[in-house]
Structure 1
Amino acid sequence: MISIAQANLDRSVRVVGEFREKMIEERVEIAMIQEPYIRNNIVKGFGSARVYSVKGVFPWAAVIIINEKLGAMKVNSLTNSNCVCVEILPPTGNRFYAISMYFQFSEHIEEYLMYLRKVKRKLKGEVVIISADANAKSELWGSPKEDSRGALLREVIEMDGWYIANDKRYGPTFDNGRTSSFIDITLTNRKVNTIMVNWEVRGDWITGTHKVITFKVNRTECRQPFINRTDKGNIKFQFHKANWGRYKECLSAEKYCLENISFRNKMDIIEYEKLIRK
């Protein structure tokens, strides 16, 4: 199980400090955040943890990797100022993709819906987890009533087969003292109970307007069914059990990621070399 926390941090240095303290206390391995605290367009407040966000422009979202044993690569072709996609490579089990999104309320929601559709298309066959401050309301994720933005988002979720992890029994995810709402969502392209457990809203983590959401990702669900091990520990391939359609989808997604690798600086090259040598 991989422990994940998602939160909008209100761009507050105080809230970031509270969040980091709780992450350490509860052994969170990945943080998927929106509205991080920044200085000079750089996400700050997470010490030596690996921070993935857009470079050179104002970032609205980020993915933080705390567990040193997790391999990670940013997918540049699916990363912009509001959306950050990171390929996660666990030491055991197969990879998955963690995406942090912030839907700016002042912007039309259609551009974020186009991004969701692009993710669904480009990462077909992969396991994807999305944590988002959607700034949209729908009964589908707990709101008493649906607004126009929520209706558009719901249509894309239903059309493309996304699954919602939210449980309205935990209450609103946003509360500023005057009003409360359900605007933070967790999506996956797998049935929730096969990939994710212990989804909950944590109202005692931070003093910001948004509440923290925590959950665990189960990577054993995605082990390849046609790979087995002998008594001596050697790998044995059972090709008659292979899902060749799924295998083709995975190869296509792998090809897309390889074709879109770009090196921005020397540190990018070093990071890729480490991952290749693992």
Structure 2
Amino acid sequence: MLIQEPYVGALAHVSSRHRVVQKITQNSDKPVKSAVFVIDRDILVTENPDLISENIVACKVKIQNRIIGIVSIYLQQEQDIEEDLALVGRAIDGLNTAEVVIGGDINAKSPWWGCIAEDRRGAKTARWLASLGLEVLNEGNTPTFYTIRGATTHSSIVDVTFCSGSLYQKISSWRVDPDLVTLSDHRGIQFAISKDRALPAEAPRKTTS
């Protein structure tokens, strides 16, 4: 599970009965904002501390004879997104694997992932994705962020999933699940990864290429 803005309490990092790939920090001024939860103990997950920070967590998952890179990211609204994306790119390179899935709250809007309009952060992200040959997995325009404050509904699509081109045809059933309990204003996202060959051909999907 790729998690962003988890509850950390006074610890500044996540405490869980499950294995959590995260930066262990005691700095409450800079708490963990991104993590990977390993629910299935039979899945082999390897981590490198050099690829883990408070906001970016990159690790490797072994699925049969394949190694897939997993990256959970939280890109803060007030930070320079170009600098943050450069850090994400270095984490991807550090995984040294051809197949990578990246997901998280990027606080950016673009029609590429279902938004009506594009903001500056979204435009920079779209160019970055194209430069690395990464593909957007978001489908439709169901809000990934949804809350009601007072009598006003607030919603947006700022949670994005993307992957390397080599993995694109092996991922299916991407969806926002409003019924999945997250204890957050952000909704859960689910998708499936084929264990072996590419999925059967289906309707064309959008691409950043």
Match of 2:162 in 1: 187
Match of 1:141 in 2: 113
- Out of 33-42 and 145-154, give the one that drifted further: 33-42
Structure 1 residue 105: Cα displacement: 1.0
Q: Report which of the two structures shows the higher radius of gyration computed on alpha carbons.
A: 1
Aligned residue pair count? 188
Match of 1:3 in 2: none
Match of 2:36 in 1: 63
Q: TM-score, normalised by structure 1?
A: 0.63
1:164/1:192 contact within 8 Å kept: no
In structure 2, list runs of 5 or more residues that go unmatched.
199-209
Match of 1:201 in 2: 176
* Distance in 2 between residues matched to 1:95 and 1:125, nearest whole Å: 7
Ranked by relative contact order (alpha carbons within 8 Å, sequence separation 6 or more), the top structure is 1
Letter in 2 for 1:190: G
2:67/2:97 contact within 8 Å kept: no
CA RMSD of aligned residues (A): 1.8
| Superposition misfits of 4+ residues, deviation over 3 angstroms | 119-125
Higher normalized strand content (fraction of residues): 2
Higher normalized helix content (fraction of residues): 1
2:146/2:185 contact within 8 Å kept: yes
Match of 2:71 in 1: 99
Q: Trace 1:199-238 onto structure 2 (pairs within 5 A).
A: 199-206=174-181, 208-221=184-197
2:176/2:190 contact within 8 Å kept: yes
Structure 1 residue 73: Cα displacement: 1.5
* Distance in 2 between residues matched to 1:61 and 1:103, nearest whole Å: 9
Summarize the Cα distance change of 1:43–1:125 in structure 2 as closer, same or farther, 3 Å threshold.
closer
* Match of residue 46, structure 2, among 73, 76, 86: 73
Summarize the Cα distance change of 1:119–1:221 in structure 2 as closer, same or farther, 3 Å threshold.
farther
* Match of residue 129, structure 1, among 101, 104, 113: 101
* Distance in 2 between residues matched to 1:216 and 1:167, nearest whole Å: 13
Match of 1:173 in 2: 144
In structure 1, list runs of 5 or more residues that go unmatched.
1-30, 223-278
